[in-house]
Amino acid sequence: MVRYTILRLMVFFGCVSLLWLLGLRSPEQRVLLILGAALLSVVISWFALRRFREDYSVELAERIEKRMARKAGHTDEDAEDSEVDFR
């Protein structure tokens, strides 16, 4: 996750630099500079960082599955404990 976030930030700041070099330098154009860089970086990241995004999705899915398995395990243990308490 950290790697993907850092790469996204690098793409964004690269787009800010590119648009600044293309002439969006005045204070009145800062909003346009930031919005343009944000939109451009989304498009670039969508294609250029696809592999990293997919890796992060797999990692996140594995974490969710482990958490669900642990929850199910605790539920079974709790049920067994409650059966033992009633006897």
Please report which helix (H) or strand (E) contains residue 34, including its range: helix 30-48
Tokens, residue 15: 């787009």
Q: What percent of the chain has pLDDT over 90?
A: 63
Q: What pLDDT is stored for residue 85 in this prediction?
A: 55
The tens digit of pLDDT for each residue in 7-20 reads 999 999 999 999 99
Please report which helix (H) or strand (E) contains residue 1, including its range: none
Q: What pLDDT is stored for residue 70 in this prediction?
A: 87
- Label residue 53 exposed, middle or buried (CB < 10 Å: 0-12, 13-18, 19+): middle
> How far is the C-alpha of 29 from the C-alpha of 20, rounded, in Å?
10
> How far is the C-alpha of 4 from the C-alpha of 52, rounded, in Å?
6
The tens digit of pLDDT for each residue in 8-67 reads 999 999 999 999 999 999 999 999 999 999 999 999 999 999 999 898 899 899 999 999
